[in-house]
Amino acid sequence: SVHEGPQRLSRLGGVELEPGMILSNEPGYYREGHYGIRLENLMLVTPLEAVPGGTREMMGFETLTLVPFDRRLIDPKQLLPWELAWLNAYQARVRREIEPVLLSDDRAWFRHATAPIG
């Protein structure tokens, strides 16, 4: 987590990340005196293939928390093309992995919630 340890994504952290550790990714934007927004996902630390010529082991992250973004809060005109592509790929992944375990009554809402944006 960015708040709890011992591991953390910070120069202040003294514990190396290891495969299997779970951290929270909490990017946010705050406009003083107006509003703030924070998006939180849990991530699993995973090993990556060695980089040719690399001198140390590399790690990556796999997103564990799969919840659709609330489309009512997103203005796609404000997004760059690559940001919109990432967002729609994430929404598609959420649908692909979560929809099979939903009760049929919930699927119509879920399909709308995970439909492409923009």
Q: Model confidence over 24-64: pLDDT tens digits?
A: 888 888 889 988 888 888 999 999 988 888 888 889 999 99
Domain count of the chain?
2
If asked whether residues 80 and 25 sit together in one domain, one would say no
pLDDT surpassing 50 at residue 65? yes
If asked whether residues 77 and 27 sit together in one domain, one would say no
If asked whether residues 54 and 73 sit together in one domain, one would say no
Among the listed residues 24, 62, 21, 60, the one whose alpha carbon sits nearest the alpha carbon of residue 41: 24
- pLDDT for residue 50: 85
If asked whether residues 33 and 75 sit together in one domain, one would say no
If asked whether residues 50 and 75 sit together in one domain, one would say no
Q: How many CB atoms lie within 10 A of CB 91?
A: 19
If asked whether residues 51 and 77 sit together in one domain, one would say no
- pLDDT for residue 1: 45
If asked whether residues 54 and 71 sit together in one domain, one would say no
Q: What is the residue range of 12's domain?
A: 1-65
Work out whether the CA dihedral 12, 17, 20, 26 comes out positive or negative: positive
If asked whether residues 59 and 13 sit together in one domain, one would say yes
